[in-house]
Amino acid sequence: MELSFKDKTVVVTGAAGGFGSSIARTFAAAGAHLVVSDIDTDGAGKLAAALPSAIAVTTDVTDPDAVRDLVDAAELAYGGIDVMVNNAGVPHRKGALVDLDVGTVDWQLAVNIRSVFLGCKYAVPALRRRGGGVIVNIASVAAKRPRPGLTVYNATKGAVITMTRGLAGEVAPDIRVNAVNPVVSETGFVKSLTGSDVLPGDLRKDWVSGIPMARTASPQDVANSTLYLASDQAGFLTGVCLDVDGGRSIQ
Ligand SMILES: NC(=O)c1ccc[n+]([C@@H]2O[C@H](COP(=O)([O-])OP(=O)(O)OC[C@H]3O[C@@H](n4cnc5c(N)ncnc54)[C@H](O)[C@@H]3O)[C@@H](O)[C@H]2O)c1
């Protein structure tokens, strides 16, 4: 069964990062036109240049005008959008909730929740102009199995899951809205979380020991599930928040 996105246009936010770039490459390999969006202009530009059919758009996903402009740019370039992947998001530095300052919390709410709200708000009318389509939000299994030290981040991902399920009921049947819940993966996320490029050994050991499949997620694991949820083969799936977690959520 081949999942084809030939002649479809896919917008991916946070596309310069670990998951986003893998998601963009995977849709491109399935024949899609890509709109590669990131706050990192350089990273988005380099990725778009390496794909067969893509444009790069600099977007701060917390900014309503920027997200509206992103959708407009996609429609202008390719005549419409078929899939919106709200992937951009960042954890706060690992630490106790009582030590977080209000500015950090406001930023977490903006970059992880407001962003998904804005991506959905501007994508829904555009998808309707196309006759229907799919939204995939990147949440986290941490919303369901929260570990200490990431409480506010985990709560933001809980909001993404609830927004996904609620919106799915609101916009069916012409638009499907699903989410992917990844377990930890060694992307730029690790640097944001720990300040180090790699997961410190003791943390890695502890976290992997809670994953029955005995490894962290790869960006390709996340990209494959995103592609499937967006595909016609998943045409009856909406409001699904798929755990891509090597079994972490059953422990
Ligand atoms: N890696 C993990 O362990 C993990 C696990 C579960 C969920 N997630 C989620 O997956 C998504 C992607 O994370 P990743 O692992 O690829 O991390 P990453 O750090 O590699 O990529 C994040 C990307 O988002 C971009 N970004 C940050 N702030 C932005 C903003 N305001 N506007 C636009 N772009 C912005 C960054 O420039 C970067 O390219 C996030 O939503 C993250 O919360 C990650």
The order of strands in the sheet holding 33-38 is 54-58, 33-38, 9-12, 83-86, 133-138, 175-182, 241-244
Running DSSP on this structure, what letter comes out for residue 216? P
CATH of domain 9-250: 3.40.50.720
pLDDT grade for 251, boundaries at 50, 70 and 90: confident
Q: Is 171 exposed, middle or buried (0-12, 13-18, 19+ CB in 10 A)?
A: buried
Ligand 1 pocket mutation pick from 11, 26, 39 by most atoms within 8 angstroms of CB:
39
How many angstroms is it from 96 CA to the middle of ligand 1?
21
Q: Is 241 exposed, middle or buried (0-12, 13-18, 19+ CB in 10 A)?
A: buried
pLDDT grade for 2, boundaries at 50, 70 and 90: confident
How many angstroms is it from 205 CA to the middle of ligand 1?
22
Rounded Cα distance, 76 and 115, in Å: 22
Give pLDDT tens digits for 34-74: 999 999 999 999 999 999 999 999 999 999 999 999 999 99
Average pLDDT, the chain: 97
Is 90 a pocket residue for ligand 1 (Cβ < 6 Å)? yes
Catalytic machinery residues? 153
Atom of ligand 1 nearest to the CA of 62: 31
Give pLDDT tens digits for 167-219: 999 999 999 999 999 999 999 999 999 999 999 999 999 999 999 999 999 99
DSSP 89-153: --PPPS--GGG--HHHHHHHHIIIIIHHHHHHHHHHHHHHHTT-EEEEEE--GGGTSPPTT-HHH
End-to-end CA distance of the chain: 32
Is 238 a pocket residue for ligand 1 (Cβ < 6 Å)? no
pTM beyond 0.95? yes
Ligand 1 pocket mutation pick from 38, 215, 216 by most atoms within 8 angstroms of CB:
38
In the chain, where are the structural domains located?
9-250
Is 243 a pocket residue for ligand 1 (Cβ < 6 Å)? no
How large a percentage of the chain has pLDDT more than 70? Answer: 100
Rounded Cα distance, 240 and 238, in Å: 5
Running DSSP on this structure, what letter comes out for residue 197? S
How many angstroms is it from 190 CA to the middle of ligand 1?
10
Residue 209: count of CB within 10 angstroms of its CB: 10
**Residue 247 backbone dihedrals phi, psi, to 5 degrees:** 95, 5
